[in-house]
């Protein structure tokens, strides 16, 4: 029996989008290739050998985003210049080398997908030192404005949602032929759901005759309570479904609200694609994942919160393509609602058409097929010669007491695969 191809997906929990993208592709791989494929999702930042300040950055993300969002913008801008980025990548190569080396040795992947930008340079270092080339893909989890660290020439392909982002790759010396517009992967349930809105609403216990607003919150979302207060007093033709993303404080406050319209509250919802397909519009922040899912479901977006930096581009993309609007105050929420719902919701319908036009619901399947094809070729052992930059890299590792002389699992590869890639 032919051994299953092993695909390793490296992700992070600094925000929801990175892991959700990883899970979406894993689900698509399992659906499409079944037992022929073994998928492992790993977060290198959870390894105990990862420096504490990198491990803690995940837990600190929520607090920083909520309490001092301006710091996110400062950090994004400061590190996005060429010199700081190179310094950061060199540091990551040293700090994460042993962790990455052991992950690759443990899982022995035939192909790798990365959903978090910190991992590309350390993996490149591992492959350079050991003269191995494992097919490596990166999927960028925002739409337009992203950190330059995402664009690493070591990857076989960089997978993006928009043409605007593809064009930016040239600014960071990544050849355009390596940048593929696949879309950001969303859960296959987005594609699997074939029922009409009325059928889904009936199953969920929602009214079928009312314009339905899905509100998605979490500890990272500001202003949702205020926006829903406007909706609550807008008119009796509406109903609300609010998913609180495990934000217990938000959930309790919404429960205590004096609702004048039908409301359905979820402390946490694992079936967001289903809720989206049952709704007519969404109120949310401009996160890469929620924007991508909304587009994939053809759901107009009322954006109420934009994290400075990467989310700025997400919001601009949605607005410029007519799929939604930004409302950062209660008055703006009121104005957008009035505009969208007048004349029997003509503008809302137009926004839905625009969202559908730019959605890529099958992205996870497209990426799964790319990974499978690459995994069939598998890792390649480089020629036994010095690879460019290898001596300097080894000196850097040894100077920082990084252990790299270990038995490598790909040593048994035949000489027919001992060539340049």
Domain boundary among 358, 391, 406: 358
Give the model confidence (pLDDT) of 257-291 as tens digits.
999 999 999 999 999 999 999 999 999 999 989 99
Query: What's the CA gap between 281 and 294, in Å, rounded?
Result: 9
pLDDT at 411: 52
pLDDT at 132: 86
Q: Give the rounded percent of residues in the chain with a pLDDT score beyond 70.
A: 86
pTM over 0.75: yes
**Domain total of the chain:** 2
Mean pLDDT of 338-357: 95
Q: 388 and 332: one domain?
A: no
Q: 207 and 322: one domain?
A: yes
Q: 201 and 63: one domain?
A: no
Q: Return the number of other C-beta atoms located less than 10 Å from residue 125's C-beta.
A: 28
Q: 124 and 212: one domain?
A: no
- Secondary structure element (H or E) that encloses residue 243, with its range: strand 238-243
Any bridge partners for residue 104, and if so which? none
Q: Residues with Cβ < 8 Å from 181, sequence gap 6 or more?
A: 160, 161, 162, 163, 166
Best-predicted range by mean pLDDT (81-95, 260-274, 369-383): 260-274
Q: Above 80 in pLDDT, residue 405? A: no
Q: 237 and 325: one domain?
A: yes
Query: What's the CA gap between 249 and 198, in Å, rounded?
Result: 31
Q: Return the number of other C-beta atoms located less than 10 Å from residue 199's C-beta.
A: 13
Q: 219 and 336: one domain?
A: yes
- Axis-axis angle for helices 17-33, 363-377 (nearest 10): 70
Contact (CB, 8 A) for 123 and 136: yes
- For residue 313, give the 3-state DSSP assignment: helix
pLDDT at 310: 76
pLDDT at 41: 97
pLDDT at 384: 46
Q: 157 and 129: one domain?
A: yes
- For residue 244, give the 3-state DSSP assignment: coil
Q: Residues with Cβ < 8 Å from 71, sequence gap 6 or more?
A: 64
Mean pLDDT of 113-119: 94
Q: 407 and 299: one domain?
A: no
Average pLDDT in the chain: 87
DSSP string, 194-236: -S-HHHHHHHHT--SSSEEEEEE--TT--SHHHHHHHHHTT-T
Q: 155 and 267: one domain?
A: no
Range of the domain at 236: 193-358
Q: Give the rounded percent of residues in the chain with a pLDDT score beyond 90.
A: 62
Q: Above 60 in pLDDT, residue 365? A: yes
Q: Which residue has the higher pLDDT, 2 or 262?
A: 262
Q: 109 and 166: one domain?
A: yes
When mean pLDDT is compared across 67-81, 158-172, 177-191, 302-316, the lowest value belongs to: 67-81
Q: For residue 25, what is the domain's CATH number?
A: 3.40.50.2000
């Amino acid at each position: 029996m032919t051994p299953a191809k092993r695909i390793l997906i490296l992700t992070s929990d600094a925000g929801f989008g990175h892991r959700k993208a990883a899970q979406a592709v894993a689900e698509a791989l399992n659906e499409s290739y079944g037992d022929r494929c073994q998928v492992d999702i790993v977060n290198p930042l959870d390894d105990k050998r990862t420096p504490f300040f990198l491990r803690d950055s995940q837990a600190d993300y929520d607090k920083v985003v909520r309490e001092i969002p301006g710091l996110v913008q400062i950090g994004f801008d400061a590190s996005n210049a060429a010199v700081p980025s190179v310094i950061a990548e060199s540091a990551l190569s040293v700090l994460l080398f042993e962790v990455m080396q052991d992950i690759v040795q443990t899982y022995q992947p035939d192909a790798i997908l990365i959903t978090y930008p910190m991992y590309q340079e350390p993996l490149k270092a591992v492959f350079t030192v050991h003269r191995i080339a494992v097919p490596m893909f990166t999927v960028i989890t925002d739409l337009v404005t992203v950190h330059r660290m995402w664009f690493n020439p070591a990857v076989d392909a960089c997978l993006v949602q928009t043409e605007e982002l593809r064009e930016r790759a040239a600014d960071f010396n990544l050849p355009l032929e390596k940048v593929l517009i696949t879309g950001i992967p969303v859960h296959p349930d987005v594609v699997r759901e074939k029922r009409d809105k009325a059928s889904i609403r009936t199953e969920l216990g929602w009214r079928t005759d009312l314009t339905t607003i899905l509100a998605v919150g979490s500890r990272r979302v500001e202003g949702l309570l205020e926006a829903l207060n406007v909706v609550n007093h807008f008119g009796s033709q509406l109903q609300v479904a609010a998913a609180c993303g495990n934000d217990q404080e938000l959930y309790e406050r919404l429960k205590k609200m004096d609702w004048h319209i039908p409301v359905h509250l979820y402390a946490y919802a694992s079936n967001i694609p289903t809720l989206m397909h049952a709704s007519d519009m969404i109120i949310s922040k401009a996160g890469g994942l929620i924007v991508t899912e909304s587009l994939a479901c053809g759901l107009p977006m009322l954006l109420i919160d934009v994290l400075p930096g990467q989310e700025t581009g997400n919001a601009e993309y949605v607005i410029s393509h007519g799929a939604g609007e930004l409302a950062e105050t209660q008055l703006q929420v009121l104005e957008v609602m009035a505009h969208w719902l007048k004349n029997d919701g003509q503008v809302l319908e137009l926004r839905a058409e625009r969202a559908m036009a730019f959605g890529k619901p099958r992205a996870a399947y497209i990426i799964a097929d790319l990974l499978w094809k690459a995994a069939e070729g598998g890792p390649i052992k480089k020629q036994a010669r010095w690879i460019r930059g290898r001596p300097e890299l080894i000196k850097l590792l040894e100077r920082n007491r990084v252990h790299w002389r270990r038995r490598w699992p790909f040593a048994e590869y035949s000489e027919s695969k001992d060539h340049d890639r």
